[in-house]
């Protein structure tokens, strides 16, 4: 469209607003139960080509499988291959989780995603005083290599890809996974999977950190460098916007804060002697899809375009795969309600549809009963079936980027990028992600966004079905599934048995070597692998590093 016709269109759009829309509003009014905005930007009544004026199609939108990847990282997208169905699972003992994994694989899931319990996430053994009452509660308890062997018994690691939601102890759990593969006879270059390994977001969103930010960043970078050399099919980091979004940030903040952390990781890995093109192809992501359907579609297009430009312009990447943002998505856990939990099936379906219309590579739906307890097998099956209906019955997989060219979607993609770039600029001015975290800037921004969202609900401007509208009086949410209380005792007994049978001298020697490496600038993954092979526990390995690095205490906790 020519500049002249765009100018004419702007005038026609303004005429329509004044003569048609405003008069209709004066006569009938606008709904009072919404403020007509996404999480990040106001929404106009109508969008036309004038709202995307200035876009250069090739530079800003392009074609699927080509820079800047706005329309998708693969030319054929879902016409060639569907996204991976990867439901999040893990509870109780490794044996119980092994059974659940086999159930999900039987139901048609194409990859595994492991939830770990809080003691494991915090680097404590099941027998620790800090683990009392939490063993196997929100995920599986993993203490030693023996547990990892049990969890994947009968599951060949050259035939599945496994995602592990683990951060501060990620190097330990990845080492265990790789050694299990070795014991199964799987070559290291055949082991595929992902470790979250994104500890920076823990300081602002979840709190499952162990060490201060700088040694934590060192560990993350060491694992990235190690996997680029030893485990070429393993994604050594899955940088997460998910938890910051669940904590309350907007879509634009999710993009910006995630990329700020990503820039810090790539900088640190490059400082460890690898290039952006060495690690770029194995960087993975996890984002959070929430309820504003069209904003979420646009968000994934924005993410791909921004990351391609960051890798090319900032880090000098030349390998196209280094510039491709390939992401796993979990639908928004914070959007689920304990009230009328069956309605969560609809929420997850809409979020899953938005994710796939946005062009993601892997997807897990938060189960309808997760606001009440750990998901049941029934809820997991419904989540898998929902994805299968989207994939095979909806028709959205027939065309690549079917929403591309929508005036609203293209405008929203641009607006999200502008908002995210503004946040990134402020973080850069502070000195980067660690400085922004240590100053509390990111935490405050998330808290303020979360407060604004909750206030909109309380004021009735944001409708949550079953919570502030369409409420069922007298409803009493009930817990659906609880872990077996005997699991904690069984896990501690298993840990004690391993300790009784292992070579204590080898354990002590490996832990001493790890502690010494921590005092230098040496790579830490090799001594961690040796400790894992000696059946040192997660807690023992974490303690060896705690003794050198110390533990992180937020300034506000003083």
Q: What is the pTM of this model?
A: 0.90
Ordered by start, the domain boundaries in the chain are 76-402+409-458, 501-557
CA–CA separation, 250 and 452 (whole Å): 10
Print pLDDT tens along the chain (558 aa): 455 556 689 999 999 999 999 999 999 999 988 889 999 999 999 999 999 988 899 999 999 999 999 999 999 999 999 998 887 778 889 999 999 999 989 988 878 989 999 999 999 999 999 999 999 988 999 999 999 999 999 999 999 999 999 999 999 999 999 999 999 999 999 999 999 999 999 999 989 999 999 999 999 999 999 999 999 999 999 999 999 999 999 999 999 999 999 999 999 999 988 999 999 998 999 999 999 999 999 999 999 999 999 999 999 999 999 999 999 999 999 999 999 999 999 999 999 999 999 999 999 999 999 888 878 889 999 999 999 999 999 999 999 999 999 999 999 999 999 999 999 999 999 999 999 999 999 999 999 999 999 999 999 889 999 999 999 988 776 666 566 778 899 999 999 999 999 999 999 999 999 999 999 999 999 999 999 999 999 999 999 999 999 999 886 533
Class of domain 76-402+409-458: alpha beta
pLDDT of the residue at 474: 81
As a whole number of Å, the CA-based R_g of the chain is 24
pLDDT of the residue at 3: 52
Residues 6+ away with beta carbon under 8 Å from 4: none
Residues 6+ away with beta carbon under 8 Å from 467: 337, 339, 457
CA–CA separation, 248 and 450 (whole Å): 4
pLDDT of the residue at 1: 45
14: number of CA atoms within 13 Å, CB side?
A: 7
pLDDT of the residue at 553: 87
The token pair at 346 is 């609809």
pLDDT of the residue at 138: 87
């Amino acid at each position: 469209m020519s500049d002249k016709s765009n100018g004419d269109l702007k005038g026609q759009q303004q005429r329509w607003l004044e003569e048609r829309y405003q008069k209709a509003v004066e006569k009938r009014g606008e709904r009072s139960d919404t403020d007509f905005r996404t999480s990040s930007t106001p929404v106009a009544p109508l969008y036309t080509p004038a709202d995307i004026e200035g876009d250069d199609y090739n530079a800003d939108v392009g074609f699927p499988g080509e820079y800047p990847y706005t329309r998708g990282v693969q030319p054929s997208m879902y016409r060639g291959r569907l996204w991976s169905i990867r439901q999040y699972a893990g509870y109780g003992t490794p044996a119980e989780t092994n059974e659940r994994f086999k159930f999900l694989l039987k139901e048609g899931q194409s990859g595994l995603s492991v939830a770990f319990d809080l003691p494991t996430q915090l680097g404590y053994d099941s027998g620790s005083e800090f683990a009392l009452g939490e063993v196997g509660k929100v995920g599986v308890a993993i203490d030693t290599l023996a547990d990892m062997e049990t969890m994947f018994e009968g599951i060949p690691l050259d035939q599945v890809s496994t995602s592990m939601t683990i951060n501060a102890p990620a190097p330990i759990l990845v080492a265990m996974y790789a050694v299990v593969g070795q014991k199964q006879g799987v070559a290291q270059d055949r082991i595929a999977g992902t470790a979250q390994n994104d500890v920076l977001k823990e300081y602002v969103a979840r709190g499952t950190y162990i060490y201060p930010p700088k040694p934590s960043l060192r560990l993350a970078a060491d694992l990235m460098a190690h996997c680029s050399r030893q485990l070429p099919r393993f994604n050594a980091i899955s940088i997460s916007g998910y938890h910051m979004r669940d904590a309350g940030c907007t879509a634009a903040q999710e993009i910006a804060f995630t990329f700020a952390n990503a820039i810090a990781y790539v900088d640190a890995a490059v400082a460890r002697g690898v290039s952006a093109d060495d690690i770029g192809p194995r960087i993975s992501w996890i984002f959070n899809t929430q309820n504003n359907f069209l904003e979420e579609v646009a968000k994934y297009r924005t993410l791909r375009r921004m990351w391609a430009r960051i890798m090319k312009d900032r880090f000098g990447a030349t390998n196209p795969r280094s510039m491709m943002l390939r992401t796993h998505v979990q639908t928004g856990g914070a959007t689920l309600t304990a009230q009328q939990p069956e309605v969560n099936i609809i929420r997850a379906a809409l979020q899953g549809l938005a994710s796939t219309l946005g062009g993601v590579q892997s997807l897990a739906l938060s189960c309808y009963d997760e606001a009440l307890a750990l998901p049941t097998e029934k809820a997991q099956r419904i989540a898998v079936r929902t994805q299968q209906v989207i994939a095979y019955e909806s028709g959205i997989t027939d065309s690549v980027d079917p929403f591309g060219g929508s005036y609203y979607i293209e405008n929203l993609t641009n607006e999200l990028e502008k908002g995210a770039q503004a946040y990134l600029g402020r973080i850069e001015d502070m000195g980067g992600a660690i400085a922004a975290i240590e100053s509390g800037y990111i935490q405050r921004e998330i808290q303020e966004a979360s407060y604004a969202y909750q206030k909109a609900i309380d004021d009735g401007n944001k409708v949550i079905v079953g919570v502030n509208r369409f409420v069922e009086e007298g409803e009493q949410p009930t817990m659906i599934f609880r872990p077996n209380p005997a699991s904690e005792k069984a896990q501690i007994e298993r840990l004690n048995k391993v300790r009784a049978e292992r070579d204590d001298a080898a354990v002590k020697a490996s832990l001493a070597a790890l502690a010494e490496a921590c005092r230098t600038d040496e790579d830490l993954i090799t001594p961690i692998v040796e400790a894992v092979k000696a059946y040192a526990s997660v807690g023992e390995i974490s303690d060896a590093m705690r003794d050198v690095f110390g533990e992180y205490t937020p300034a506000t906790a003083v």
